[in-house]
Amino acid sequence: MSTDLALDRLCGQLIVGGYLGDRPTPTFLHAVEQGHRAGAILFKRNLPSIEAAHSACSAIAAAAPDGLPPWLCLDEEGGRVRRLPSPFVKLPAMLKLGAHGDEALIERCGRVAGAQLRALGFNLNLAPVLDVNTNPSNPVIGDRAFSADPLEAGRMALAYLRGLRAAGMVGCGKHFPGHGDTSVDSHVGLPVVAWRIDRLRQIELVPFQAAISAGIECLMSAHIVCESIDAQSPATLSPILATDLLRSELGFQGVLLSDDLEMKAISARRGFGEAAVAAIAAGCDAVLICSQEQAQEQAHAALIQEAERSPGFRTRCEQAASRSLALRRRFPAAASATPQSAMESMYTRDARELATDLSQFG
């Protein structure tokens, strides 16, 4: 599987980066122009207004070389994980929506959110959450999940995914193999769970299997250690989980993104270069490095060095880049012509009616 890319571009297409500030930095745009980034992930710090969102997406898309359309992504889950200001649709926490049990309403949420994101230039929403809310003390998932019941969590998440797809938006299910029963936030530490594989199949993997069976195009890995399955590595860096379980057993054929390598579960234990190489070798098709441009450069250099040293690793890089590029070429980012036209597209009848129907959730 060949992408016909020079090695620097091949390895660059394995990194989705972020930047600080409310507009793309010249250095970040230069990296995109060189083919050294697969795209960008944006946060509230980058999106003070709808106009800023449109401008950032347009600038990054314009900087990308021909044939290398970028990912333009963000975490727009609803509830406490939302990045865009008004008039972007304000979705309640997914646990509230899931408890309501209305698949049609959740699908409408995905469709309206997806259409608004597409108008601004995004092509990948890092949602829905496929975790199962089984631990009330979980500091990071909780009401981001749709349900404490595995079947319901999957059913409701798939409704949201259908809505995103109807709007032409790629959804990314997360966090494989399941972050719902942890007591540590992987942003600040390394969660370790004692699940055995039979428990995993009965609970955590149920929504992921449902999403895979429904053809989900993208998943995100979790930085958690399942010590009875692989005691040495978190899922992001574990071939046993990211390849053997996810692809060989569950049959996932899509793009696997790592969670952010800046999170302490990874960065407190490994350098960015080492972590990026390990993630790609384990089975991830791209790594997220969400704010530190220097860390992105370190990862890029390490990926090149390992691909030069190891023909097998270069082949894995080719496979990863090919998967990601194939999906990005199917769903290229395309913002509305102007910020004003993007803003106008957010005031559709569907959006207004959805806002009214969601007012019951507070």
Residue 36: active-site member: no
194 within domain boundaries: yes
Please report, as a single letter, which amino acid is at residue 20: L
Dig out the tokens for 79 from the structure: 């509830």
pLDDT value, residue 335: 81
362 within domain boundaries: no
Catalytic one among 8, 185, 187, 244? Answer: 187
**Structural contact between residues 219 and 177, judged by C-beta atoms closer than 8 angstroms:** no
Mean pLDDT on 250-277: 97
93 within domain boundaries: yes
Dig out the tokens for 52 from the structure: 């800023």
Q: Locate tokens 């290229």: which residue?
A: 332
pLDDT more than 70, % of the chain: 99
Dig out the tokens for 360 from the structure: 């019951």
Dig out the tokens for 170 from the structure: 């790629």
pLDDT value, residue 232: 95
pLDDT value, residue 343: 87
pLDDT value, residue 137: 87
Please name the residues in contact with 217: beta carbons below 8 A apart, sequence gap of 6 or more.
170, 171, 254, 255, 327
2 within domain boundaries: no
What pTM did the predictor assign? 0.97
- Chain mean pLDDT for the chain: 96
Please report, as a single letter, which amino acid is at residue 22: D
The pLDDT of residue 18 is above 80: yes
Catalytic one among 259, 260, 285, 300? Answer: 259
Give the structural domain span for 307.
Answer: 7-352
361 within domain boundaries: no
Number of domains in the chain: 1
CATH code (residue 239) = 3.20.20.300
Residue 187: active-site member: yes
pLDDT value, residue 337: 85
Mean pLDDT on 215-227: 97
360 within domain boundaries: no
The partner residues of 174 in beta bridges, in order of sequence, read 129
Cα end-to-end distance, the chain, whole Å: 50
User: Which of 255, 216, 258, 211 lies closest to 234 in space, CA to CA?
Assistant: 258
pLDDT value, residue 2: 55
Q: Using pLDDT thresholds of 50, 70 and 90, give the confidence band for residue 162.
A: very high
151 within domain boundaries: yes
357 within domain boundaries: no
